[in-house]
């Protein structure tokens, strides 16, 4: 149970990071709606959500790992290479189903290996996954695909259709919503979900209580890798191509950003899907507004950085660190 939830049950309003970020997002939303013609428009708002849907989906996977006090820096590499392999297989004449099955198996294998490295070999997650990200990229380049950009062939019809729209709503938005609901239910109401919080909050105590700490850790990385593969398929479908260079980009930091921004502490055991949604929406509103304003690239980076800093500063003023949180040892 996170601090914010406890507070809200008591009926009080506390300046948690989630609330701060939500407030900033709301301010920006109102500001843009008033000032920018065309911002407050159903189709624009839908595309706003669609544009951060992939980030949000990855954020949910990352969030699940972070809640269990882990981190998956290999998520983007897993996404890029497993999907690239799938598309390469389709190009080589495999059926779409078979190709997706193999891609999924690859992603799952990656997740299990990472989980075992973290849970059983006891390598700190940040190093294990960072190293794995390089291994995945290198292995993928060596054995799975030989080009940076792989195009989805015209005959992969149903793979193309997963990014169409349904009743005017882009499907990626629907996938994002469905995953958010599933993740919410999973984290909130299933035994495994509660275990993740317990492990993230205090691993040793969780273990003494009889929670299968190590297998649960493996499952976390398995989940994040499979979600990464799903996000990759949606991207591939949308762009009709896969570019494996994203594996070496800074995208994984954007994913961590939406997780942390929303208030899921890297120390684990805190937060939930709502935090990720808030973080994702803030980034979405910012990006959309700045695009409409036609703001130059460097300026956009300054604005993004400043908004993040403000969120962090307000949070550290509102929730000063104490001995207990300091001892938790977040990253």
Partner 1 sequence: MKTFIGRTLAALLALGSVSTALAEQFDDGLAPSYYDTFKGKKVVFLPLAMSFDLPQVWAKAMETQGKRLGYDFSVRDPNWSSDAGAQALTTLITEKPDLLVVHNPDMQVYARLLQRAQKEGIPVIQINLKSVATTDAYVGVNWYEVGLHQAKMAVDACSPAAGKSGKIAIMQGTPTNPNNAITMTAIEDTLAQHPDIKVVSSQSADWDATKAHAVASTVIKQNPDLCAYVGLWEVMDAGVAAAIREAGKTGAIQLITNGGGQKPACDNIENGTFNGYVSYDAIGQARDLTDAIAQVLQVKATPGSQPYGIYTPIKDISRETMRANSCWTMEDVAAAPF
* Binding residues vs partner 1 (CB under 8 A): 38, 41, 43-44, 47-48, 50-52, 54, 141, 146-149, 151, 165, 170, 235, 238-241, 243-246, 248-249, 287-288, 291-292, 294, 296-298
> 244 and 41 in contact (C-beta within 8 Å)?
no
Question: In angstroms, what is the minimal distance from the CB of 50 to partner 1?
Answer: 7
Distance, in Å, from the CA atom of 235 to the CA atom of 244, rounded to the nearest integer, reads 12
Question: In angstroms, what is the minimal distance from the CB of 280 to partner 1?
Answer: 13
Question: In angstroms, what is the minimal distance from the CB of 151 to partner 1?
Answer: 5
Long-range contacts of 293-299 (CB under 8 A, 24+ apart): 293/36
Neighbours of 261 (CB within 10 A): 28
The token pair that represents 164 in the structure block: 């169409």
Distance, in Å, from the CA atom of 330 to the CA atom of 267, rounded to the nearest integer, reads 4
CA 51 to chain CA centroid, Å, is 14
Q: Under 8 Å CB-to-CB from 184, ≥6 apart: which residues?
A: 272, 273, 274
Our CB check for partner 1 shows the closer of 44 and 177 to be 44
Question: In angstroms, what is the minimal distance from the CB of 131 to partner 1?
Answer: 17
Our CB check for partner 1 shows the closer of 48 and 282 to be 48
Our CB check for partner 1 shows the closer of 122 and 294 to be 294
Distance, in Å, from the CA atom of 74 to the CA atom of 213, rounded to the nearest integer, reads 21
Our CB check for partner 1 shows the closer of 120 and 158 to be 158
The β-bridge relationship of strands 241-243 and 149-151 is antiparallel
Our CB check for partner 1 shows the closer of 11 and 168 to be 168
Query: Among candidates 124, 70, 81, which has minimal Cα distance to 103?
Result: 81
Question: In angstroms, what is the minimal distance from the CB of 143 to partner 1?
Answer: 14
Question: In angstroms, what is the minimal distance from the CB of 282 to partner 1?
Answer: 15
Our CB check for partner 1 shows the closer of 15 and 287 to be 287
Query: Among candidates 156, 157, 183, which has minimal Cα distance to 56?
Result: 183
Distance, in Å, from the CA atom of 264 to the CA atom of 307, rounded to the nearest integer, reads 17
The token pair that represents 93 in the structure block: 């004449």
Question: In angstroms, what is the minimal distance from the CB of 270 to partner 1?
Answer: 29
Supply the DSSP string of 170-188, one letter for each residue.
EHHHHHHHHHHHHHHHHHH
**Dihedral sign of CA atoms 54, 55, 58, 60 in order:** negative
Question: In angstroms, what is the minimal distance from the CB of 136 to partner 1?
Answer: 14
Our CB check for partner 1 shows the closer of 189 and 297 to be 297
Our CB check for partner 1 shows the closer of 137 and 197 to be 137
> 210 and 195 in contact (C-beta within 8 Å)?
no
Our CB check for partner 1 shows the closer of 165 and 209 to be 165
Question: In angstroms, what is the minimal distance from the CB of 144 to partner 1?
Answer: 12
Half-sphere exposure in the Cβ direction for 257 (13 Å, CA): 18
């Amino acid at each position: 149970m996170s601090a914010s939830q406890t507070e809200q049950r008591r009926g009080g309003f506390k300046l948690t990071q989630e609330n701060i970020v939500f407030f900033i997002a709301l301010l920006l939303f109102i500001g843009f709606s008033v000032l920018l013609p065309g911002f407050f428009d159903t189709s624009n708002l839908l595309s706003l959500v669609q544009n951060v849907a992939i980030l949000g989906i990855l954020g949910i996977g990352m969030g699940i790992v972070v809640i269990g006090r882990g981190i998956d820096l290999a998520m983007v590499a897993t996404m890029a290479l497993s999907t690239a392999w799938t598309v390469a297989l389709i190009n080589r004449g495999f059926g779409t189903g078979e190709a997706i099955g193999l891609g999924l198996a690859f992603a799952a294998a990656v997740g299990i290996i990472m989980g075992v490295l973290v849970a059983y070999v006891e390598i700190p997650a940040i190093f294990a996954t960072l190293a794995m990200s390089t291994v995945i990229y290198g292995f993928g380049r060596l054995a799975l695909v030989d080009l940076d950009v792989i195009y989805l062939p015209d005959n992969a019809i149903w793979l193309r259709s997963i990014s169409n729209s349904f009743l005017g709503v882009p499907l990626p938005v629907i996938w994002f919503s469905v995953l958010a609901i599933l993740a919410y239910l999973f984290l909130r109401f299933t035994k495994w979900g509660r275990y993740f919080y317990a492990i993230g909050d205090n691993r040793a105590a969780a273990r003494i209580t009889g929670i299968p700490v190590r297998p649960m850790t493996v499952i976390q990385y398995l989940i994040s890798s499979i979600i990464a593969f799903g996000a990759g398929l949606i991207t591939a479908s949308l762009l009709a191509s896969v570019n494996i260079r994203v594996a070496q980009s800074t995208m994984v930091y954007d994913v961590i950003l939406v997780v942390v921004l929303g208030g899921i502490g890297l120390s684990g055991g805190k937060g939930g899907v709502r935090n990720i949604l808030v973080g994702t929406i803030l980034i979405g509103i910012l990006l959309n507004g700045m695009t409409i304003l036609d703001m130059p690239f460097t300026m956009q980076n300054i604005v993004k950085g400043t908004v993040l800093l403000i969120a962090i500063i307000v949070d550290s003023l509102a929730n000063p660190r104490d001995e207990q949180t300091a001892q938790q040892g977040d990253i």
